[in-house]
Structure 1
Amino acid sequence: MTRRSHIPLHEAFATARAAGGHAPSVLGSRPWIIGGGGDRITLGADPDKRLDVADPLAREPVLSCGAALYGIRVALRALGVRPEVRTLPDPDRPALLAEITSAGEADPGSTDRRLYAAIERRRTHRGLFERALSDGAVLRGLGDAAALEGAALRQVTDPDRVRSLSGLVTAAEHLHRVERPGTEEQDRWVRAQGDPRAEGVHAEDFPAPGAGAPVFPERDYGRVTGLREARGTEIGTVALLTTASDDRAAHLAAGQALHRVLLTAADAGYAAAFHTQPLEEPLLRAFITERFCAGEHPQMLLRLGRPAPEDRVDQGPDDLPGGVSGIA
């Protein structure tokens, strides 16, 4: 069977598997197993990539797998396949998060094609931006993108509340540096300059010492010595991605919403920086839930903005290397 794209079905599914592997992921760890064959894809969580110290409930790997699932879905639609997705299909196999098959032909629209094309352009940003995301139409589009996947993107505009969130990031980062016993867990994903492995956080993607966004501190990767010069002056637009519930289904949906938001932003020329530290501390996460999310559950804290021209790379994916896939 062929579709409007004239790509055989098995080739479309092979391309979609590859697209899923370019999703953003916690520490660039790519904690998914994308399998299957022919016109079937299975998506599972890799138990060897759990972060037992930072994330004992495995929320972040499931969120990362949700991002991979959205990449698979948008690739199939762009290639003329209407994906049929079963999430959490087998209660006896909790690591199996989704099964994807074909529900027939799709007539890809311009949005499908643009978001698929944005997979190779999207990069995780670290440091400051050239300017914040202030375009109302783009912001509404990002909110719509999150809502279509069952989440909400809540922009934080009040300067005092922005400072409060910054303080929570700073406090959590301090706790992690002085109290967290699992530094080896994080060190596993640190990559020195020139390291050819795609997984992990690479020195080439990190701002040089003092060149980051001090009011929203980056995670301390210890052995990483950043290389990039400071090229921005703005912290960007601060937002929280939230869901109404906080179970595995919600985490999987949040990952899909996150990737859709990021691809929508990339299509418009914007990028995102992530700050997960306070969401890894139960008391701080509960505080953010109550004070900033109207009782919904925060799944990601991010800053959005226009990168400086030198940071707008157009090379092919792989990243969270080149910054493509890391949720830090």
Structure 2
Amino acid sequence: MSIRSPKQALDAAVEAGRWAPSVHNTQPWAFAVSGEEISLRADTSRQLPVSDPAGRELLISCGAALFTMSTTIRFEGYEPVVRILPDPDRPGLLATIRPGEEIEADELTWVLGGEIERRRTHRAGFADVPIPDQLIESLARAAMREGAKLTPIRSPAAVNVLAALTQAAQGVQVQEQRFSLELIRWSQPPGGARADGVPADAYPREPVPTEPDFPQRRYSWRHGWGIPATRSEASTGVVAVLTTPGDSREEWIATGQALQRVLLHASAHGVSAAFHTQALEMDLLREFLRQELCSGEYPQMIMRLGVTFDSKDVPRRPLTDVLE
């Protein structure tokens, strides 16, 4: 039984929610605590109007924060009671969460909770270390628990298609000023002190191409920022796609919850993820993927999973910035 009060569990949940992954580390969430309930809101001032006009990636990011808070409340000894999109008249209110009945946190909850601040996004190739099939299968089951489907792409031809579409989308985006300016907004120069965005030590200056090549975002934008590439990390890793049957706001939030469950589970086994959303930010390419590679399901995230020995600190906004 819990020895922490519901108020203490809520405080811990809000603190943990800050550590969720988000597109370009925008951290597009706001929390409010009223009584014994947390409200999760979308901070649309942090939305990407060019690459994410519908707010899909924003809601995926907020869904990851929701799962993080739910896990923390369970970790603190309470069953989380969650309502998704509880008020149609308040579309910015994505969810409410409160502590329910007291429970004994199980072993999986302890494992996932222990990875919340340790998990890191990777932005380069991986070490040539195989990932056991059993682990990939367990990650697929983890996603399924949150209403999404994680499919490892085993066919070399299909991996080549995903890489080619990522290259094509990246090639278009780097040529368009509006995409570049949006990316610059979330890029930090070396020594930058911002509490959001992608710092210059979070990606290689000159990436070592994987085979096939999945290009990373060019956060440095002609500045030569970044760190020296790790030549020993040039493996593609395991390519996987996260999909949902539909494409509603509820399913975007569910995607974020599934994504964070997968990432925390993977982190507990020493596995990190690199994300590639370029092709999913272009409607024609996303629809092509849905029809040709995803059996009609909607692709929500393309990722590579692998082992890296490079771990960097990531900036996080202070609690005073995210708690209303």
**Residue 285 of structure 2 corresponds to residue 284 of structure 1:** yes
The answer to whether residue 246 in structure 2 is matched with residue 249 in structure 1 is no
Q: CA deviation at 1:224?
A: 6.3
Deviation (angstroms), 1:233: 2.6
Structure 1 runs of 4+ with >6 Å offset: none
1:31 alignment partner, one of 2, 24, 28: 28
Q: Deviations over 1:79-130 (max 9, x none)?
A: 1011100000000110100001122112100100110001111100111111
Partner SS for 2:301:
strand
Residue 133 (structure 1) shift: 4.8
Choose which of 173, 197, 204 in structure 2 pairs with 1:176.
173
> Is it true that 1:217 corresponds to 2:215 in the alignment?
yes
Query: Equivalents in 2 of 1:319, 1:213: separation in Å?
Result: 27
- AA partner of residue 274 (structure 1): F
The answer for the alignment partner of 1:21 in structure 2 is 18
1:205 corresponds to: 202
1:219 offset after TM fit, Å? 1.0
Contact kept in structure 1, 2:205 and 2:224, CA below 8 Å: no
State which of 104, 107, 132 in structure 1 corresponds to 2:104: 107
Letter in 1 for 2:49: D
SS at match of 2:90: coil
Q: How does 1:67-86 map to 2 (within 5 A)?
A: 67-86=64-83
Taking a change above 3 Å as real, the CA distance of residues 30 and 161 of structure 1, as seen in their structure-2 partners, is same
Q: Which moved more, 1:261-270 or 1:184-193?
A: 184-193
Letter matched to residue 173 of structure 1? Q
Matched residue count: 313
Partner of residue 135, structure 2: 138
Q: CA deviation at 1:320?
A: 7.0
**Range with greater deviation from structure 2 (4-13 or 296-305):** 4-13
Provide, for residues 207-229 of structure 1, a one-character-per-residue CA deviation record: whole Å limited to 9, x for no partner. 12133547000012214611143
Match of 2:7 in 1: 10
Shift of 1:312: 4.3
Quick one: structure 1 residues 58 and 224, their matched pair in 2 at CA, closer, same or farther if it must change by over 3 Å? farther
> Kindly tell me: are residues 35 and 19 of structure 1, through their superposed partners in 2, closer, same or farther at Cα, counting changes over 3 Å?
same
| Distance apart, 1:184 and its partner CA | 2.3
Query: CA 1:27–1:192 in structure 2 vs 1: closer, same or farther (change >3 Å)?
Result: same
Q: Retained in 1: the 8 A contact 2:149–2:242?
A: yes
Q: 1:180 to 1:292 in 2, by over 3 A?
A: farther
Percent of pairs with identical residues: 40
Q: Is the 8 A contact 2:32 2:38 kept in 1?
A: yes
Letter in 1 for 2:47: R
CA RMSD for the aligned pairs?
1.7
CA distance in 2, matches of 1:182, 1:34: 29
AA aligned to 1:177 is V
Letter in 2 for 1:217: P
2:321 matched to which residue of 1?
Answer: none
How does the TM-score come out when normalised to structure 2?
0.92
Aligned residue number for residue 271 of structure 2: 270
- Alpha-carbon distance in 2 for matches of 1:123, 1:261: 13
C-alpha distance in structure 2 between counterparts of 1:272 and 1:320, whole Å: 19
Bigger shift: residues 94-103 or 206-215: 206-215
Instruction: Give the AA of the match of 1:245.
Output: G
Q: Given the superposition, is the C-alpha separation of residues 135 and 229 from structure 1 closer, same or farther in structure 2, using an over 3 Å criterion?
A: same
TM-score (norm 1): 0.91
Task: Output the CA distance in 2 between the equivalents of 1:129 and 1:85.
Answer: 36
